[in-house]
Structure 1
Amino acid sequence: MADVATRAPASQPAGATTDPEPNETLYIQNLNENVKLSVLKQSLEALFSTYGKVLSVVAHTNLRMRGQAFVSFKSRDVAAKAMREVNGFPLYGKAMRITFARSKSDSVVRYLAGADGESALEAHKRARLAEKPLKRRRNILREREMQRKRKAAEAGVPVESVEPKSGSLARVQANQLPDEYLPPNKILFLQQIPSTTTRDDLQKLFGAYPNLLEVRTIPGRSDIAFVEYNDIPSGVQAREATNGYAMPNGERLKVSYARA
């Protein structure tokens, strides 16, 4: 059964409080839309589980929710600590923006209710369904689209079908490519890193090649990291030199270009 929480408000009237009240669910924006959803959710769970038990990670593929996710904890204190420390962390090349969600997720409602979890969840869902039509009517983007269609109908102009933009199609195709066929990038994605390897070890290895900008590791995931150079030629040189590099334990480092 899908877990649901409400997003933080995009905007509010002047003078109104813009920050949602602290709760157990975090709302995450600016996620890399080109990363496979299952991989993204796995990475989020690994990252946030270093702060406490993660009850759920929810992300969707529909256009309205792309690049967004919800992560729920058992405690709002844990959620607050995770938000303070992870907000702005670059996951797959994009800095996450994190706020509290406007409402509790289904998993939090069920957990906090204990033995009455299922009945509390049903009541929570009924209340959400009752509020949904009101939210839909308040949706500004939906209203603008409705106005556009009404004007087109009044003018006798057929409403055009929405075709994927060429850029969007290119991103989908790039996401389906095997790692070895990805186009050159100044950001490298490292895999198969031995658990004993430190950030300093990676810094030393990739610092041997010119124009290194930074090495980014992911908390809770010692087997993957990102390395960024100042320009694409430097990234190409480093990737060619280090892909398949024999680590001290004999394992081969896998280095590919990050997905654009």
Structure 2
Amino acid sequence: SMYNSPNSGMSSICDGASNGSDSKKLRVEEAPPSRVLHIRKLPNEASETEVIALGLPFGKVTNILTLKGKNQAFLEMGTEEAAITMVNYYSTVTPHVRNVPVFIQYSNHKELKTDAGNQRTQAVLQAVSAVQSGGSPSSDVQEALAAASSPVLRIIIDNMFYPVTLDVLQQIFSKFGTVMKIITFTKNNQFQALLQFSDPVNAQQAKLALDGQNIYNSCCTLRIDFSKLVNLNVKYNNDKSRDYTRPELPAGDGQPSLDPSVAAAFSKDSNSLLGKIPGALSPLSAAAAAAAAAGRVALAGQAGSNGVLLVSNLNEEVRVYGDVQRVKILYNKKDSALIQMSDANQAQLAMSHLNGQKMYGKIIRVTLSKHQTVALPRDGLDDQGLTKDYANSPLHRFKKPGSKNFQNIFPPSATLHLSNIPQDVTEDDLRLLFSNAGGTVKAFKFFQDRKMALIQMSTVEEAIQALIDLHNYNMGGNQHLRVSFSKSTI
């Protein structure tokens, strides 16, 4: 079962259908669309504001009811359309609260009737309403939020394909208020930062708008939570820490201050958040939500009724075993897709090697489809970007008959074979490149001519991710790195 799928079949308290006396009836049934959403599996420490943040990008949030003892909540959206958009989007992108995956489905309730005297809830709703309308929360709302949150945010960057600098963070977050201090560090092989605003309300607005967003197109995803700290102690102004209120601080031992031109180079990405966030996010339309989901997914491998977990750019993994011709994400089942390979042998090869492999903590299921081909949408029909034609892709590995690529097809392994490496690229360069793909490099070995190498990641899952991210990576001088699974070990 996928997270937050309306018919996930997960055992839980029935939405208003049982008082808990009959455990056999505690089964989640699929409810028809409603502007009230039922959210389950919330972490114990989850706040009302964090629950509201799940609905904020999709429209106005009009009410909330939290059931602390059951780790559940009900969220009422302004319109049924907004609720439908939210459920559709989160059926492809797992929602998280405090880094814990949660489950979202329609409620049997059509509206929430809560105690209007709950001042705390009303204050949070007013604050969110102010954020959505582009205004500032009133003073009493600011006090309520200040008591519940810290001015310091803890930021984790997932899928950090490009460097994220202090200046990049400052540029993004200053859209929401005055950034006073930033400290960056690496923990558990993840780039993290602590960022302090001058006001807790600014931190609240930034978290609501930015959590889960990408800094650059399809990468560098922001995971944001409140820190338990209320004030940061910055000793040095350099490329790892900065106190914007104290420019006289020293740079520290051997730590040069960051050249602003470095950050500026990355701010030119046309698909980035930089310079594009005027305030809180605008509501997403149903089409935009579907397009956002499709933009994350360019998968491959042939999927049948068991379904394939949608993960970003999975097609590159399948291209190890054949040439992907077309991809169709199923409209009514966006966790599944049909993938057309060049021939039946390639489809069989992809299925045998990829079925049961793990990606993003999920098991990929691959079976042969009853369909012989993937049909393209009719002329003039907008299928929301769910169907793609890769027949003319430059990434095909098996176009040439008798190619050596046919002799080097192996199951996914922790060791990757690299080729087409430029002469001036060093071992350290490649180790850094593959570490930034989100994994840990355990071993490395150049071949004698240094045009090829073996690199070993700590797990097969990390190697799969590295291959997805880095095959055909431009190494400069129009030389593109070739990555495949190896049968060898180092």
Q: Shorter-normalised TM-score: what interval? A: 0.3 to 0.5
Return the TM-score normalized by structure 2.
0.23
User: Which one has more relative contact order, counting CA pairs under 8 Å at least 6 apart?
Assistant: 1
From the CA coordinates, give the structure whose radius of gyration is larger. 2
